[in-house]
């Protein structure tokens, strides 16, 4: 049976599948949320949480594109373009040129360690700005992962 025919038959189940996925995600997150340990800096913990999430999200998106770059280049050029943007080498804080997906994380981790060593308002502002930049890229990656797995284009 051809893929688009399968997707058409599965389409009535899409709301149910979406609901189950949403409930699973909600369950994972609610069950997992934790309060901070005494003495832990909330900004540092937030940065580390974002680094962990970014690492996994970029990995997932880039590996999906890598599975068949030719297909995505032809059928979803904007998605492939975003992946290429993540792969573009850019300069880092201390590691020379690296793919942007890696460089943004290395830079944020470097800024975090600087902030931990010398906690100033300027340092926290710089760290927060870098955190927002990475967060925006992670949000965009998550949006792309929703779009590329949506059956609406069938």
Partner 1 sequence: MPAAQLIPIVIAALPMIQTGVTEFIAWLETLRSAAKQAGEWTDEQDAAYLAALRAKLGDPAYQPDPG
114 interacts with partner 1 by CB under 8 A: no
Q: How open is the CA angle 92-95-100, to the nearest 5 degrees?
A: 40
Q: CA torsion, points 38, 29, 78, 54, in degrees to nearest 10?
A: 30
Q: Binders of partner 1 among 38-67, rule CB under 8 A? A: 40-41, 44-45, 48-49, 51-53, 55-57, 59-60, 62-67
Per CB under 8 A, the list member of 14, 18, 22, 28 interacting with partner 1 is 28
Least Cα distance to 112 among 153, 68, 70, 52 occurs for 52
In whole angstroms, what is the distance from residue 131 CA to residue 123 CA? 12
36 counts as binding partner 1 under rule CB under 8 A:
yes
**117 is a site residue for partner 1 (CB under 8 A):** no
Q: Which of 1, 16, 121, 122 binds partner 1 (CB under 8 A)?
A: 1
Q: Does 15 bind partner 1 (CB under 8 A)?
A: no
35/122 with CB nearer partner 1: 35
- Interface residues with partner 1 (CB under 8 A) are 1, 3, 6, 9-10, 12, 24-25, 28-29, 31-37, 40-41, 44-45, 48-49, 51-53, 55-57, 59-60, 62-67, 69, 73, 84, 87-89, 95, 98-99, 101-102, 105-106, 109, 113, 116, 149
């Amino acid at each position: 049976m051809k893929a688009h025919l399968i997707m058409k038959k599965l389409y009535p189940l899409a709301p149910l599948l979406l609901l189950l996925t949403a409930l699973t995600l909600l369950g994972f997150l609610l069950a997992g949320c934790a309060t901070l340990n005494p003495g832990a800096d909330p900004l540092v913990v937030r940065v580390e949480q974002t680094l962990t999430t970014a690492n996994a999200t970029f990995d997932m998106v880039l590996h999906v594109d890598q599975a068949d770059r030719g297909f995505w280049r032809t059928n979803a050029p904007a998605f492939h373009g975003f992946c290429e943007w993540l792969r573009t080498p850019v300069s880092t804080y201390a590691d020379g040129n690296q793919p942007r997906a890696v460089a943004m994380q290395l830079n944020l981790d470097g800024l975090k360690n600087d902030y931990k060593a010398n906690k100033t308002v300027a340092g926290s502002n710089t760290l927060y700005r870098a955190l927002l930049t990475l967060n925006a890229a992670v949000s965009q990656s998550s949006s792309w992962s929703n779009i590329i797995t949506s059956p609406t284009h069938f």
